[in-house]
Amino acid sequence: MAASSCDGVQFALGCVRELKGLWQTSRIATLEVLQERYADDETEAKATNQHPKQQDNASDTSVVSVQLTKLNELEERLLSIASVAEPDDSLKEGLLNAVQEYIAFQDKQLIPTQSSTSETPDTKLGEGSYAYQPLSESISFHEGRAGIHFYQWNTLSDCSSGEDKDLGGFDNLIQPVSAWLKWKERKWRILDKLYRSKADVITLQEVDHFDDFIRPALEFAGYVCLREYKPQPVIRGSNVRDASVLAFQQKKLRLVNSMTVVLERPPTLQELEGELKEAPSNVSVKTNQVAVLARLELICTAQTTQSEQSNAQQIVVCVTHLKAGKSDEAESIRAGQMNFLLARIHQFSSAASQEATDYPIFLLGDFNSVTRLGAMESIHGEFYQSPFTPAALPKLLDSGYENVIDHLITRYQTSSTAEGQPRVRLFTTGKQRKGVYTSSTIDNIFWKAIQSKPRLVDARIALVAHPTHQRICLPHPQWPSDHLAVEAVFEFE
C-alpha cells in the first residue's frame, strides 16, 4: 500500500477512535441527565402519588450504543487493511456516515428549533439553506464525454476563529460558541462537506491544519494534495501560517507537473521614495500571498486505446488567495498580484507545452475582490456601493477568462425577469462583525477555454440551493466557515 494511503488509513483509525471517545462522553452526559431527571420525577411522583414520567432522553442512550457498535465494526475493518490494502469505497462511506451521525446528534443541542429561533440574523441561517445537495448528486454527463467537478472553498483558519481570543470577532454566533467553533468540533463539519462534495478537484484557502487533518483526510478519500504556506503568519504575535491547497482525485486525474509561487506586486510610490529608492526600475515586492499551479491529465477508462490515452485532455489548474482589504489601496495591491499571477500562469502553461499546445486554464480562489462594481448590505438592510473600484478581476475578464459568479448572476436575473420575480443578489460570504452585516461574492472559479473547451455544465454556490434575499450569517454549525463553497462542473468533448 502506498505511503499516502497508509497515512489515510491511520487517519481514519484516529478519527474512529476519537469519535468513540466523543460518543462515550455523550453517553455519560446523557445518563447523568437521565439520572437527575428521574430523581426529580420520582420525588415529584411520590409527592403527588403518580408514576414517574417517561424520559425523552432515553432514546439518546440507544443512539449512542448503536453508534459505538458501528464504530467498533469500522475500526476492525480498518485494522484489517492497515498495511495490506487500499481502503475501498465502503470504508470511506463508513467514515462519512460516522461523522454525519455524530454531527446530527450534536445538532440536537446546538441548533435552535423553529419554535425558538429568532428571525434575526443572530441565529437563522436562511430559509431553505439547510438542504444542501452536492452538485455531484444532480449532474450527469453526455455519453462519451469527460467531465470535471471543481469545489472551491475558504475553510476559515483555526487561528483566526476557534483559537482566537475573540473567536474571529463574529458576533452572530449561536451559543454556546465554544461547543462548535473550536477546532475539535468544527473539523468534523469541514470533513463532512469535503467528503460529500465528491469533487474531482478541491481547492482550499486558510488551511492551518494541513498535515494533521486536511491532507490525511483527503488522501484517505483518494486525493493527491499540493499546498503552499504563506511566508509569514497572518495573526500578529502568532507563529501559525495557513496554506492554499490544491487536491485532485487520483482515479480521475494524473499530475504532470506543478509549481508554487509567492505573489509579487509593484512597489508603492512611498516605497520608491523610501527604502526602494536605489532599487532597479523593474523591482517588485514579495507579498504574503501564494498560489499553487498544476498541470493535470484526465485518466481515461480501461477501454481507452493507447492512442487515445496519448491524446488525453490536459488542463492547468491554479489556486490562490489574494490580499484582503476593502480599500482602493488594497485593491491596487490585488491588481498587482493578479498581473504577476497571470504572467506566471502563462509561463507555466507555455513551459508545460512542448508542442506549443494551449491548455484550458482554471483559476480558483478567494480573490477578496469582485468582477463588477456591486453593492454590499448593512445590518439595517440598506445597500451601499463597494468601498473600492474593482481592478484585479477585470484583468482576468480582459484576458479572455469566464467565471462562475457572473454566470450565476446572469442565470438568476434572467429567470427572475422571465418569472416576474424580483432580482436577487448572490453571495459567497456573509458575516456580522461589530453589529454590521456584510456579504459579497469574493470567491470564484474562472476558466479560459481553448477551442470552445471546456463547456460549463452547471454551477452552484454551496448551501444556497436557490437565490434568496434572506441573510445568511456565517460561520454556523451547519456551515463551518465564513465563506460558502463554489462548485462547478465542466465537460470536455
Coil, helix or strand for 113? coil
DSSP assignments along 156-201, one per residue:
--STTTTTSTTGGGB--PPSPGGGTSSHHHHHHHHHHHHHHH--SE
CA dist list (Å): 265 to 118, 280, 320: 46, 14, 15
Q: What per-residue confidence (pLDDT) applies to 121?
A: 38
Which percentage of the chain shows pLDDT scores above 70?
Answer: 71
Per-residue pLDDT at 50 exceeds 50: yes
Give domain status of residue 353, yes or no.
yes
- Phi, psi of 459, deg, nearest 5: -150, 160
Based on the domain organization, do 311 and 436 belong to the same domain? Answer: yes
Q: Are residues 458 and 364 in the same domain?
A: yes
Q: Is residue 126 part of a domain?
A: no
Q: Grid coordinates in use for 157?
A: 483558519
- Distance between CA atoms of residues 81 and 87, nearest Å: 7
For residues 91 and 39, state if they share a domain.
yes
Give the range of the structural domain holding residue 41, as residue numbers without chain letter.
3-110
Per 3-state DSSP, the chain is made up of helix, strand and coil in percentages (nearest 5) of: 35, 25, 40
pLDDT at 446 over 50: yes
Q: Is residue 115, in this structure, part of any structural domain at all?
A: no
pLDDT at residue 127, as a whole number: 37
Mean pLDDT of 347-357: 68
Where is pLDDT greater, at 31 or 487?
Answer: 487
Q: What is the mean pLDDT of residues 16-40?
A: 72
Nearest to 387 by CA among 440, 315, 321, 348: 440
Question: Which residue would you say has higher pLDDT here, 324 or 38?
Answer: 324
Within a domain: residue 118?
A: no
Instruction: Return the sign of the alpha-carbon dihedral for residues 74, 79, 80, 83.
Output: positive
Are residues 426 and 282 both part of a single domain? yes
Q: How far is CA 143 from the centre of its chain?
A: 30
> How do residues 183-237 score in pLDDT, each as one tens digit?
999 999 999 999 999 999 999 999 999 999 999 999 999 999 999 999 999 887 7
Mean pLDDT over each residue of the chain, to the nearest integer: 80
The whole-number average pLDDT for the span 25-54 is 57
What was the pLDDT predicted at 224?
A: 97
Report the distance separating Cα 371 and Cα 407, nearest Å.
Answer: 11
Distance CA 424, CA 375 (A): 12
Average the pLDDT over 8-29 and give the result. 88
Residues 337, 445: one domain?
yes
Q: Which stretch, 18-27, 277-286, 382-391, has highest mean pLDDT?
A: 18-27
Same domain, 322 and 366: yes
Listing DSSP states for 261-275 in one string gives EEEEEPPPHHHHHTT
Task: pLDDT band for 250, please (50, 70, 90 cuts).
Answer: very high
142 shares a domain with 105: no
The total number of structural domains that make up the chain:
2
Cβ(253)–Cβ(299) under 8 Å? yes
Alpha-carbon gap, residue 412 to 419, rounded angstroms:
10
Residue 131 pLDDT = 47
Q: For residues 256 and 296, give the distance between their C-alpha atoms in angstroms, rounded to a whole number.
A: 6
Taking Cα atoms as reference points, which of 197, 206, 198, 244 lies closest to residue 225?
244
**Nearby residues of 393 by Cβ (< 8 Å), 6 or more positions away:** 338, 367, 369, 370, 371, 403, 444
pLDDT for residue 114: 41
Assess whether 360 and 467 both reside in one domain. Answer: yes
**Domain annotation covers residue 310:** yes
Domain's final residue, options 110, 145, 161? 110
Looking at the predicted structure, is the pLDDT value of residue 322 above 90? yes
Instruction: Please report which confidence band the pLDDT of residue 61 belongs to, taking 50, 70 and 90 as the band edges.
Output: confident
- Looking at the predicted structure, is the pLDDT value of residue 469 above 90? no
Whose grid coordinates read 432522553? 57
Residue 371 has pLDDT above 80, yes or no: yes
SS3 (DSSP) at 119 = coil
- Is 88 in the same domain as 184? no
**Domain contains 105:** yes
68 has pLDDT over 50: yes
- Are 314 and 426 contained in the same domain? yes
Q: Residue 483: pLDDT above 50?
A: yes
Task: Please say if the pLDDT value at position 3 is more than 90.
Answer: no
Q: What is the greatest pairwise CA distance in the chain?
A: 94
Does the structure show a pLDDT above 60 at 471?
yes
Q: At what angle do helices 89-110 and 58-81 cross, to 10 degrees?
A: 150
CATH number at residue 183: 3.60.10.10
pLDDT tens digits, 128-175: 344 456 676 666 655 556 789 999 999 999 998 888 877 888 876 665
Instruction: Report yes or no on 130 lying in a domain.
Output: no
How far is the first Cα of the chain from the last one, in angstroms, to the nearest whole number? 35
**Chain centre to alpha carbon of residue 136:** 15
Do 63 and 160 reside in the same domain of the chain? Answer: no
Same-domain status, 154 and 65: no
Residue 143 belongs to a domain: yes
pLDDT for residue 306 is more than 80: no
